[in-house]
Structure 1
């Protein structure tokens, strides 16, 4: 999705996180990959690009993910933090159904087949 049309931004850590999330969402969302923690100057550049868009942080449930969250809490407290269950550890390896429910909980529209994956597994 083109940045100029995205009204929401999701910040993720890795390229595999970005690829997984982009494949699941129907909303106009820009997904930005930080490759882990980021420098203060790069973070400032990102914040300047946010404008009035809604920003979500979707980081792994590990120390690197928490470090990234702390950076955003300090520098951009307006961001909303989305959490995967700690048992899955990484966004990229979390089950599609679980991740779809997390995104849906933030009013980010996802393709229905990812929601249905959980029903068939039960």
Structure 2
């Protein structure tokens, strides 16, 4: 893990989620992709490296996302969960202003121009 990101880590499902969220973030934050599912070995590795970090979880509002969220909730009980509106279903297809709003609601600094788009 890279210390230039600070103490905050955001866990997302896919690369397209990572790319979209990264463009909205104003503060340095590591974004970890699970690629939809996560093996126990990868999860154990993640637990070790994220032990002293503020962990945020942002996954899709669909069955696969909820399954992953439950798994991550067990392993990272201290993590803050960020939810998108179910009508958007996927982080990658949610409007940027919606993502900016939910990220800001979790005290994550975002570029203000994304908030003005709504």
TM-score (norm 1): 0.92
Q: Which residue of 2 aligns with 1:80?
A: 80
SS at match of 1:57: strand
SS at match of 2:44: helix
What is the distance in 2 between the residues matched to 1:75 and 1:26? 28
1:69 partnered with 2:69: yes
Q: Which residue of 2 aligns with 1:9?
A: 9
Q: Which residue of 1 aligns with 2:37?
A: 37
What is the distance in 2 between the residues matched to 1:50 and 1:95? 29
What number of residue pairs does the alignment pair up?
117
The superposition leaves residues 82-119 of structure 1 with CA deviations (integer Å, 9 ceiling, x where unpaired) of 0000000000000111100000001110011100101x
What's the RMSD between the two structures over aligned residues? 1.1
Which ranges in structure 2 are unaligned for 5 or more consecutive residues?
A: none
Which ranges in structure 1 are unaligned for 5 or more consecutive residues?
A: none
Q: Which residue of 2 aligns with 1:97?
A: 97
SS at match of 1:92: helix
The superposition leaves residues 47-70 of structure 1 with CA deviations (integer Å, 9 ceiling, x where unpaired) of 111132100010000011011111
- 4+ residue runs over 4 A deviation: none
TM-score (norm 2): 0.95
Shift of 1:3: 2.2
SS at match of 1:5: helix
